[in-house]
Every structure is written in C-alpha cells, then in structure tokens.
Amino acid sequence: MSMSGIVVIGAGQAGASLVAKLRALGHAGAITLIGDEPVPPYQRPPLSKGYLKGEMALERLFLRPESFYADQDITLKLGSPVTGIDPAARQVYLGDMVLGYDQLALTTGAVPRLLPAGIGGALDGVYPVRRLADIDAMAPEFRPGRRVLIVGGGYIGLEAAAVARQRGLAVTLIEAAPRILQRVAAPETSDYMRALHAAQGVRIIEDCALARLTGEGRVDGAELADGQRLSADFVIMGIGITPDSVLARGAGLVLDNGIAVDEMGRTSDPHVWAAGDCASFPYQGGRIRLESVQNAIDQAEAVAANMLGADTGYVPQPWFWSDQYDLKLQIAGLNTGYDHVVVRPGAAAQSHWYYAGDRFLAVDAMNDPRAFMLGKRLLAAGRSPDPAVLADPGADLKTLLA
C-alpha cells in the first residue's frame, strides 16, 4: 500500500483543475488523480458540438496534453474505477489495490439520467450524452436522411438537435414539460429557442410525455402518452444528470442533492473535500449545486487552496453558455426566484433580463456578448440596471455602468 499525499477521484474538468491548482500554489507532496475512463481529462461541452460534428480531433478535447501530468509529478491513474473509500483508515480501494491519503477530494461529476429498461431504455440505438464513449458510440448513426428522436428539451437535447439537423438528419424532439427549457429559462427564452429550431426544420412536441420506446432488440420508434406513434432510427436521451455520489454514500458522507460541502468545500469528514457537478454548497441562505464548466473550475481551484490552508469561502459568479446552429447563448447569473423578465429586442441579437422585484438576477444573451459581459459586471458589482434603459433598443447600455 502506498501512503499519504493528496488523492483526487474523478478525472474530469474539476479534478484536472484541482490537481493543476495544487501544483500552481506550490504544493510539493504526492498527488494522484484517478479516472475511470481510459483517456486523460477532457472538455465535455464540445462532445455534443464540435466533436460530434467531426470537426474536432480527440487530442483537442484534452484539457492538457497527457505529458503535463508527468511534468508536474502528478500520478494519473486512468481506466481505474474506485470500488470504495474507508474514511476511518483514510484509504481508497481500486479493486485489490489500496491507496492511502492524507486528504481526499471527490470530483466525481454526474451521471446521465437513463430511460428505464421497462419502457425501452435498454434497447440498442438509445444513447445518453455525457462521456466520450457515448459520443463515439452514437457517431456512426449520424447519416443524412436518418430519423433521430431526442427525448428532453433542455440544453443538451437542443444542442444534439442542432448538430443532427446540421448533419442532414430528420429531427423530432419531445419534452414532457409544457415547454422546452422550462426548468432553466423564462418563457421568452423558450420561445426564442423554439423558433430557432423550427426555422431549421426540427419538429418539437411539448407537453407530451414518452410512454415507451418501441422495437425488438433495437429501437424503431416511440409511443407518446397521447397515443401518437413516432418512427426513429435511433434515440438520444437528454433528460438531465444526477450527481455521482455513490462512493460518498458508501463512505458515509452527508448527502444533500449531491455531496454536501461547507463554504470551504469540505464534506462531513474533515479529510475529504468535493467540488464540481457532484457537490452541493451553501449559497445565499440555501444550498445549490451548479452544473457548469465555470463552477467546476472555480470551485475546484478554491478547494485546492483550502486543502492547503487558505480557509476562504467559495462564492460563485455563475455563467453558462450553449452553442446551437449560428447562435451563441450566454447566461450570466442565476434566475432562481425571478418574477419578471425585461426583453431587450434586436434584429441580430436579443437579451432577456431577469428580476425579482427591483433586484437584477441574471441575463440570457442571444448572440449578444456585450449584454452578457455587462450583465456579468453588474452582477459582480451587486447593481441592478434600470429596466427602462434595457427595454429601449436605442439606449447605450454602457451608461448603466456609469
């Protein structure tokens, strides 16, 4: 058994950011990064965009060249699923192998929700969108003229729909909720995105649940709750993700919508930390979990500093993005609790500004990087712009920073 040092489980964006930051901050001790996939840490967003389109080579997905880890004296254990953690003994188990640690960080990310096998989720030709292997498995399906059914109208589903249309496929997307993006965006943004996809020929069916997928062995279509039958050559599941807290649960750590950490990133065990999609943390009197690249990086870097004694609480500055066709959607802030939306209209660009009373919460910027940057700056300064100025397409937004 090898002893001590820092062990990080989960070689995604958060894990890669955490180990790099430990070295950048001058930590000289042993660092081990463990991943269950056979490739070094890579970016996930391009998987469902450039990589799926065939426009991006595998090596360009890697967050850093594989040589970086050796150069930084970071032990990279790939293709190595962790089978258990014993916090009392401070040991990690990889099958028969035992690894000791002084401090442990869990950056295990999230796993895609799957359709139950009972309604056809286990049929051939049904794919989640999360890992490199998922995209590699579905890539041969993307041939012009084929029919794809996408289950779920969140950002992952819409991004997959855009790529499929650009590759010449016939696309039908179904959403059980009354509208696409219902969980994450205002009706105004849903309307904008629905129109964008309709103009590209995507058939969107909202407010209609999937009853079951059909087919013998391989999927050939779907039956909807209202009795409609759809034909499909393959199916993509975009029905959300859940935090991967299996190891944390086995180790007896406190869970609360993922692995519960304090503002420092520490779990209920003083020697174990967590960051990224798997971790829920205190925020504005409640507790949130953020599924974004920005949070994975920022929180992991904050945890790295705190593992080395910085003792500084993590305060997120949330932002997100989505690429669909020629649209770049950029989101700053969190719209939770909004009660009205101010629309700033435009021909080529548009933005939707979320308010709770007089307080500015977030902005959705469609092909409008200036609105996005302004929104970020206003949020960082804790300022709420005058809605009348925002709603006037002739007004210069720069005056709002004065």
**What CATH number is attached to the domain comprising 139?**
3.50.50.60
Kindly state whether residue 314 falls inside one of the protein's structural domains: no
Q: How far apart are CA 312 and CA 298, in angstroms?
A: 13
Same domain for 131 and 25?
no
Q: How far apart are CA 358 and CA 388, in angstroms?
A: 12
Angle at 323 between CA 258 and CA 318, to 5 degrees: 40
Kindly state whether residue 320 falls inside one of the protein's structural domains: no
Same domain for 120 and 50?
no
Which has more confidence, 30 or 402? 30
Kindly state whether residue 293 falls inside one of the protein's structural domains: yes
| pLDDT (mean) for 7-34 | 98
Which of 278, 307, 336 is where one domain is finished?
Answer: 307
Same domain for 248 and 104?
yes
CB 292 within 8 A of CB 320: yes
Q: How far apart are CA 235 and CA 174, in angstroms?
A: 11
Kindly state whether residue 313 falls inside one of the protein's structural domains: no
Maximal C-alpha separation, the chain:
68
What's the pLDDT tens digit per position in 169-225? 999 999 999 999 999 999 999 999 999 999 999 999 999 999 999 999 999 999 999
Same domain for 229 and 181?
yes
Same domain for 230 and 118?
yes
How many other C-beta atoms lie within 10 A of the C-beta of residue 183? 9
Q: How far apart are CA 388 and CA 258, in angstroms?
A: 40
Checking if the pLDDT of 87 tops 80, the result is: yes
State residue 209's pLDDT score.
96
State residue 398's pLDDT score.
86
Structure tokens at 45: 């967003």
- Cα distances (Å, whole numbers) of residue 329 to 155, 158, 162, 201: 10, 12, 13, 20
What's the pLDDT tens digit per position in 356-391? 999 999 999 999 999 999 999 999 999 999 999 999
Q: How far apart are CA 148 and CA 157, in angstroms?
A: 11
Checking if the pLDDT of 2 tops 50, the result is: no
Checking if the pLDDT of 1 tops 50, the result is: no
**What CATH number is attached to the domain comprising 388?**
3.30.390.30
Q: How far apart are CA 102 and CA 124, in angstroms?
A: 44
- The full DSSP string for 14-83 is HHHHHHHHHHHTT--S-EEEE-SSSS--B-SGGGGTHHHHT-S-HHHHBSS-THHHHHTTEEEE-S----
For 147-248, strand residue ranges (E) read 147-151, 170-174, 203-205, 210-214, 221-224, 229-231, 234-237, 241-243
Which has more confidence, 118 or 52? 118
Kindly state whether residue 319 falls inside one of the protein's structural domains: no
Which of 209, 237, 265 is where one domain is finished?
Answer: 237
Kindly state whether residue 283 falls inside one of the protein's structural domains: yes
What 3-state class would DSSP assign to 342? strand
CB 130 within 8 A of CB 203: no
Confidence of residue 402 (pLDDT cuts 50, 70, 90): confident
Q: Which of 370, 340, 368 is nearest to 354 (CA)?
A: 340
State residue 273's pLDDT score.
98
State residue 4's pLDDT score.
66
**Can you state the angle between helices 187-199 and 155-166, rounded to 10 degrees?**
20
Same domain for 207 and 121?
yes
- According to DSSP, the β-strands at 170-174 and 147-151 are parallel
Which of 277, 307, 337 is where one domain is finished?
Answer: 307
Structure tokens at 243: 């935090």
Checking if the pLDDT of 42 tops 70, the result is: yes
| 169 phi/psi in degrees, rounded to 5 | -90, 155
Q: How far apart are CA 362 and CA 341, in angstroms?
A: 10
For 264-339, strand residue ranges (E) read 272-274, 279-283, 286-288, 319-324, 327-333
Same domain for 99 and 140?
no
| pLDDT (mean) for 61-76 | 96
Same domain for 59 and 13?
yes
Domain count, the chain: 3
Tell me which residue range forms the domain holding 373: 326-401
What's the order of all strands across the beta sheet hosting 221-224? 210-214, 221-224, 229-231
Same domain for 228 and 257?
no
Same domain for 106 and 160?
no
What's the pLDDT tens digit per position in 301-347? 999 999 999 999 999 999 999 999 999 999 999 999 999 999 999 88
Estimate the share of the chain in helix, then strand, then coil, as percent rounded to the nearest 5.
25, 30, 45
Kindly state whether residue 316 falls inside one of the protein's structural domains: no
Same domain for 283 and 340?
no
Kindly state whether residue 321 falls inside one of the protein's structural domains: no
What's the pLDDT tens digit per position in 108-166? 999 999 999 999 999 999 999 999 999 999 999 999 999 999 999 999 999 999 999 99
Checking if the pLDDT of 100 tops 90, the result is: yes
| 303 phi/psi in degrees, rounded to 5 | -65, -40
The DSSP bridge partners found for residue 354 are 341, 362
Same domain for 232 and 267?
no
State residue 3's pLDDT score.
46
Mean pLDDT of the chain: 96
